[in-house]
Chain A
C-alpha cells in the first residue's frame, strides 16, 4: 500500500469506501496455511517493521522454516501452541488492500479441532481450502469442504499450494482439480475456484506468477479483492428479531436490533410474532438521522404507529412472508463440548435474540465427516455432527439455515456449566409424520412392556364394540359440539360405552397452563390424543370435537391414537354461520381482544380425507349417518 501517489486526504476518502470480506482458511497441518496468511499480510505491506523484526528474531529461535522467514509465527499466537508449533484455536487476522479489508479466521486442521473450524467459519463469506500439491485431495480436504458447505459458505477457493515442489506442473494441478471437482459435486457449493500457488515463494499469492504461464486466472489476492459477496445475504424475507426495547421515557418506544434479513421500510405494514398483531413502521431511527429503509446487517431502532406490547425476542415480519413458528424442528447439530451429549438434559437454546429451553428428542443420524456416511448413534461426543430433532419450550421463529443464516442458526447452552455445548443449523420444521409425539420405537417397547393381560378381542366381545375415536373437526361455532353431545346420548341409549372428551373441561384442568397460541393448541391436542388412546385401549369409544385446524395436527393426533382407530368427520359450516351461531369469540377477535382464532387470524385447513362431511343444519340426519357408519365399520355394534 503506497501513500505517496495519493495525497493522504484522498487516500482516506477512498479507504473509507472499502468493504469487508470475512474468510476462513482450512487445510491440514503443514499444508502452509499460516505461511499463506503471513504472506498475504506481508505482501499487502500492512506489517510494521518491528513486527517483522520480532518475527526474524522468533524465526531463529523457534522457527520451522530453516533460513526462510517463518510467516507462520506471525499467526500462532498463544504461548502453548507456539511451543507445540501448531495452531490450536481460531485466530483472527486482519489486513487490507486498497479495495477491501479482510478478516481471516485461521483455524487448525486436525479432526479434533472440527469445532474450531466451525467457530471460525460461522461468519465467513468465503473459504480457502489448502491442498498440498504433493498430496492432492486427502481426507482432510473432504472434511473441510463438507464443513464449509455445512456452514453455508457460498464461495470456496481451492488453493493448491507448494506448486514449487511439483515443478509448477500443470498436469499435477489438473489432476487435483479434477479429483476435487468430482468430489464436490456431491455437495452444493455454488462457487468453486482453483488457484495453483506457492505460499512460501509468493507465486500467485499477490502477483500472478511467471512460473505457471499455463494458468490464466487471477492471483489469490486479486480473486479475494474482486469476489462478489454482498448479494449473499438474504434481502427478501424481512426478519427483524427485536434485541432491545428502547424506552427512554413514557412517550418513546423503540425496538432495536440489527436487521437479520430482508429490507424494512418506513410505512411498511409489519406483523409481530408471536402476537400476530399488525402495525406500520413509523420511523427508522439511528444516531445519524432517520432512514427510509434499513437492510442487514444494519443496527437500527424502529418505532411503530400503534402501541403494541413487544419484548425482546419478538420478531417483526411482513404479514405475507412469515417464518416458521414452531416448537419442533430438525437441525444439523455440531457437538462442541468435552462432555458427551446427554439426551435427558434440558438445554438453554439461544436463537434470534430469544432464549428458551430445549431438548434433543431424537438423533436421526451421525455424519462421518471424513466419508460423509451416515450412521445411528445414541449420543454425540466432541466434534461429532449429525441430524437431530429438537423441541423447545416456547415456539421459535425460524427459517431453514440454507435460506437464512440469521434465523436458521442457534446455540445450545449447558444448564449447569453454561458452556456453549452445541451449535445448530436448522433444516426445517418436522414433517407431521415426524412430530415428536409420534410413537417412537422406544415408546413402543415401553408400551409393550406394560401390556394388559386382557386382550383387545376379549374386550370387544364383552362390550360388543371396538374402542375407537370419533373425531369431529370444524370451526368454532360450527355446531360440532352439539353433534358430539347428542351422539354421546344416543350411543349410551343404544347400549354402547362411549365417553365424550370435552375441550373446555380439559382446558380448566389437564391443560390449564396452555393458551390458544398455535403451539399450545398443538400441545393440547396431543394430550387429548393420549387420553383417547388410553380409553380406546380399554375398549371405550371416545367422541371428540376439536377445531384441530390443520392437517398436520390431525395427523399427529391420528398417529398417537392409531390410524385405523381414528375416524375423522368434518362439520362443514360457513364462517357466517359460525359467527351467527356463537358470536362472542368472533366479536372479540375482530376487536383484537382475542387472537389466534382459526378462521379469523389463523388459517383453518378443510380436511380432504374426512370419512363423513356434515352440514350443521341437518343435525338429526347427521346422527343417523354416524350410527350407520359405526355399524358398517363394525365399531358399534359388532354383532
Chain B
C-alpha cells in the first residue's frame, strides 16, 4: 500500500461521511433513525465525524415499540444526553394504549403495529424528507440490491423493480412533496467491518451485546430474556440464569440470545468467525416466510 491509500475501514468511513453530508446538503428535513443497535451506534458516530467540529444538523429518531430491553432505553437516553443529540422518541400511542404486544398479539401483529406503523407515523408527523437507516447489504438477500439512496413513494413504499440507477458517488436526491428517500450510509459494511470499527473507534454499545449471566427462558428453541413482568408468569417461572449475549437487539420477547462467553469485542469476533448461525436468524420475524424481509420493505419497514 502506498502513502495515498486507505484501508477498507477508512474507505468505508469516507464513503459514509460523504453520504451523510450529501443528505444534510440536499434535504430540508432529514432524520437519522436510531435503533440503539450496534449498526446504529456506528452510523451515529459517522454522523458526528461528518460535521465535526460542528453539531450534527439533524435529529435522531427512535421508534419505540415499548417492548425494547430496558438497558437499550437507558443506553439511548444517556448517549443522547452525553453527546448533545437532539433525540425524538416516537411510539404508536393507539397501539400502546390498546395493549398491543408480542405475548398477546403475536410477533406479526406486534411488529406491524408497533414498528412499521409507528415508523410511518413518526415520519409523517415530522414530515421528514430523508431518513437514514443503518441497514447493511450483507445482512439479507433483498438488501443486496437496494440503493444507498432508496426512493420511497408517498406511502413510504419501496418498489424493488423500479429503483433509480445509482452511479459513482452521485446521489439523486430529488423528491416531490410527500415522497422521501431512505438513506443507508453503511450499505457496504459487513458485520465484521462493524465490529472492527467499534473496536478501532471505541464506540460505546449496549452492554447486552456482551456475554453475562441473564435470566433466560427457552421458547420454541429461542433463548428469551426476562426483561420485565409483562412476560407471562408461567414463562417467567421457567427462567434460569445463563451466560448469554445478543447478536442483534430488538423487542425483548422477539430477540433470541445465544449462549456465549464472549465478553469483549475480540471474543465476539472470534465467536462470530466460527459461529454456526448467521446474524439475522436470531430475529424471530424473519422466520415468518421466505423473503419476508422483502415483503416488509415493500410495505415501508426498513
Contacts and interface: CB of A to CB of B under 8 A. Distances in A.
Nearest to B52: A287
B54 A248 contact: yes
B52 A286 contact: yes
B28 interface: no
A258 B17 contact: yes
Nearest to A295: B4
A263 B172 contact: no
A93 B144 contact: yes
A437 interface: no
A119 B54 contact: no
Given A78-B145, A103-B188, A20 B17 contact: no
Interface stretch (B72-80, B156-164, B210-218, B249-257): B156-164
Contact of B200 (A11, A16, A296): A16
A410 B270 CA distance: 43
A573 B179 CA distance: 60
Given A79-B291, A295-B4, A16 B188 contact: no
Contacts of B50: 256, 299
A97 to B, nearest CB: 12
Contacts of A299: 13-15, 17-18, 21, 50
Interface in A437-469: none
Given A115-B165, A295-B4, A351 B170 contact: yes
Given A252-B54, A287-B49, A123 B168 contact: yes
Interface string B7-19: 1111111110110
B11 A20 contact: yes
Task: Specify the main secondary structure of chain A where it touches its partner.
Answer: mixed
A297 B15 contact: yes
B4 A263 contact: yes
A93 B141 CA distance: 9
A393 interface: no
B190 A48 contact: no
User: Chain B, interface size: which category?
Assistant: 35 or more
B270 A78 contact: no
Interface string A91-114: 111101000110100000000000
Interface string A399-411: 0000001100111
A94 B278 contact: no
A96 B192 contact: yes
B269 A230 contact: no
A375 interface: no
Nearest to B51: A246
A252 B277 contact: no
B281 interface: yes
B273 A3 contact: yes
Interface stretch (A160-168, A213-221, A417-425, A555-563): A417-425
Contact of B25 (A91, A295, A312): A312
A10 to B, nearest CB: 10
A17 B7 contact: yes
B196 A298 contact: no
A243 B18 contact: yes
Given A235-B4, A248-B55, A286 B168 contact: no
Contact of B270 (A3, A122, A350): A3
A377 interface: no
B270 A420 contact: no
Contact of B52 (A231, A285, A298, A423): A285
Given A96-B192, A246-B51, A299-B17, A258 B278 contact: no
A309 interface: no
B169 A15 contact: no
Interface in A492-512: none
Interface in B139-181: 141-145, 160-161, 163-170, 172, 174-176
B2 interface: yes
Contact of A16 (B7, B48, B165): B7
A92 B168 contact: no
A17 B160 CA distance: 35
A258 B270 contact: no
Interface in B237-289: 266-267, 269-270, 273-278, 281
B269 A244 contact: no
A244 B25 contact: yes
B53 A252 contact: yes
Contacts of A122: 167-168
B206 interface: no
Given A96-B190, A248-B53, A230 B5 contact: yes
A8 B4 contact: no
Contacts of B166: 119, 420
Contacts of B170: 350-351, 409-411
B105 interface: no
Given A8-B267, A20-B8, A20-B12, A89 B163 contact: yes
Contacts of B269: 8, 11-12
A49 B276 contact: yes
B11 A12 contact: no
A78 B142 contact: yes
Contact of B9 (A16, A256, A419): A16
A190 interface: no
Contact of A19 (B6, B54, B138, B141): B6
Contacts of B7: 16-20
A92 B165 contact: no
A405 B169 CA distance: 10
Interface string B176-219: 10000000000110101100100110000000000000000000
Nearest to A299: B17
A542 interface: no
Nearest to A21: B8
A258 B14 contact: yes
Contacts of B187: 92
B273 A298 contact: no
B212 to A, nearest CB: 20
B164 A256 contact: no
B299 interface: no
Nearest to A57: B290
Contacts of A18: 7-8
14 contacts: A19-B1, A49-B277, A77-B141, A77-B142, A89-B145, A93-B144, A101-B190, A103-B188, A122-B168, A244-B25, A252-B54, A299-B13, A418-B176, A419-B164
Across chains A and B, which 10 residue pairs bring their CB atoms closest together, nearest first? A248-B54, A77-B141, A48-B278, A122-B167, A230-B5, A299-B17, A287-B49, A418-B174, A287-B52, A20-B8
Given A79-B290, A118-B167, A246-B51, 18 more contacts: A3-B273, A8-B267, A16-B9, A20-B8, A49-B277, A75-B144, A77-B294, A123-B168, A230-B1, A246-B54, A248-B55, A257-B21, A287-B48, A298-B10, A299-B14, A312-B25, A351-B170, A405-B168
